[in-house]
Structure 1
């Protein structure tokens, strides 16, 4: 393969990744990247020059925009630039909604299988986020603001805004001045990045299903970030017992229904 061939294949693959965000390793354009080190090196150099990164994780080749120095916008930065009706604190809440969703799916294998089968509904997300913010508010008050200072979280501003947000019934058009509206915005950003599927066919609530791409990025990127691991631990401290109680209630309900039909 000539140098020109190598560069042409590298540019073609990079352009495809820019369009798709991720490409299955069995895709014909990914074969040379996997098998030819010169093509792979050329792709990595091209990605670095544009402020991006190409990496392999699971069954895909991924392209992500780096936090600094990139000429490309992420789905999140695009959403921020287009969402002028939202304040900074709203975006802060959106990021924690996304964090709670990641915590929920980034779990043991049996729970992962359950999530892939049943998904996570908007009301479930609202309930978990409300419980988390309520716990953080109490801890912060008990510690006279020490919790917020130690973990660099704007607890007071987050909880004040969340408590003021209006209740919104499912299936209504989502208002950004509501909890459901911010949840919808958080999941739409994920959807634009091909990280989730959102099902709108359920009668009472939208259901969110994580994609393999999200799992692979959690494994490659976030599992190596100290901030993610710290926030995941804080969320786990507040929600682990709560989630166990919810699962036990569901199991008891299933048993009761089974006995009733026996």
Structure 2
């Protein structure tokens, strides 16, 4: 392996570290597919606990779930994102994000609709509320609900139920992280920071538009994880499950 290949591979990898995604318009995109450069980039990724996703028009760099020198635990996430105040909020933000992902990862029609229309913070809040109220009903009949999935359902449900519900204009209270809409905003900012969504109408009724990068993450990465599929199934409310399975 010559010095020029190593130099190009380093440029590709450190650009990915900084930008997380390289698209087909970047000079590094073409460099990456040189066999020696690609081999070196993959080696760098493997050694640092990161993972390369190759799609037709983009290359992604993501952190492996465990064993990464770049892994972000709760403490690091709290330091990087001030909106993540406690583990309770961390868990709720995770539920919001997973609910959002499940909504766009249903079928081709849902994907097209979401790319065209997006989803407002208020629609997402109603979606999450329906989900958590459904969990609340299940917990009453089955107190162990969530243990198999390693989710503290009681804490999630209780925290959400006692969060303030926004009744005023979003613009007045958007900075309040302790309201439900504030929590939605915090969750979406995390995805925006990763370059996976676009947020429109911030000062009116904010709307989230998923970017192609997010759909590629779902297709080329998340679908390979059993836990993602398990949590995605958990995100379906009882009504949605019946809609998807008319025989039930």
TM-score (normalizing by structure 2): 0.88
Asked if the contact 1:98–1:187 (Cα under 8 Å) also holds between the matched residues in 2, the reply is yes
Which residues in structure 2 correspond to 1:7-46 (within 5 Å)? Answer: 7-34=6-33, 36-46=34-44
1:195 aligns with 2:196: yes
Corresponding position of 1:151: 149
Gaps of 5+ in 1: 245-262
Match of 2:91 in 1: 92
Distance 1:140 1:201 in 2: 36
Cα 1:64/1:28, change in 2 over 3 Å:
same
Which stretch has the larger CA shift, 38-47 or 51-60?
51-60
* Superposition pairs of residues 76-91 of structure 1, within 5 angstroms: 78-82=76-80, 83=82, 86-91=85-90
Shift of residue 152 of structure 1? 2.4
The superposition leaves residues 114-166 of structure 1 with CA deviations (integer Å, 9 ceiling, x where unpaired) of 111110111111101111111111111112x1222233221111111111111
1:153–1:85 Cα change, 3 Å: closer
Match of 2:121 in 1: 122
- Map residues 102-113 of structure 1 onto 2, 5 A cutoff: 102-113=101-112
Q: For residues 67 and 153 of structure 2, what CA distance do their matches in structure 1 show? A: 30
Root mean square deviation, CA, Å: 2.3
Q: Is the 8 A contact 1:75 1:192 kept in 2?
A: no
Partner of 2:3: 4
Residue 248 of structure 1: aligned partner = none
Answer yes or no: is the 8 Å Cα contact 1:94–1:182 preserved in 2: yes
Query: 2:214: which partner in 1?
Result: 214
CA shift at 1:228, angstroms?
1.0
Superposition deviation, residue 201 in structure 1: 5.4
Deviation at 1:238, TM superposition (A): 3.0
Alpha-carbon distance in structure 1 between the residues aligned to 2:189 and 2:26: 27
After superposition, give the CA deviation of every residue in 1:14-45 in whole Å (9 maximum; x if it has no partner): 111111101113422111222x2111001111
SS, match of residue 111 in structure 1:
helix
Query: SS in structure 2 opposite 1:151?
Result: coil
For 2:135 and 2:151, how far apart are their aligned partners in 1? 9
- Measure, in 1, the Cα distance between the counterparts of 2:152 and 2:74: 20
> 145-154 or 115-124, which moves further after superposition?
145-154
User: Are the counterparts in 2 of residues 128 and 239 from structure 1 also a CA contact under 8 Å?
Assistant: no
Structure 1 match to 2:70: 72
Shift of 1:188: 0.3
Which has a greater percent of helix? 1
Q: What's the CA shift for 1:9?
A: 0.5
Q: Report how far residue 58 of structure 1 moved.
A: 4.1
Which residue number corresponds to residue 162 of structure 1? 160
Aligned residues: 240
TM-score by length of 1: 0.84
Q: Which has the larger radius of gyration?
A: 1
Q: 1:79·1:189 contact (CA, 8 Å) conserved in 2?
A: no
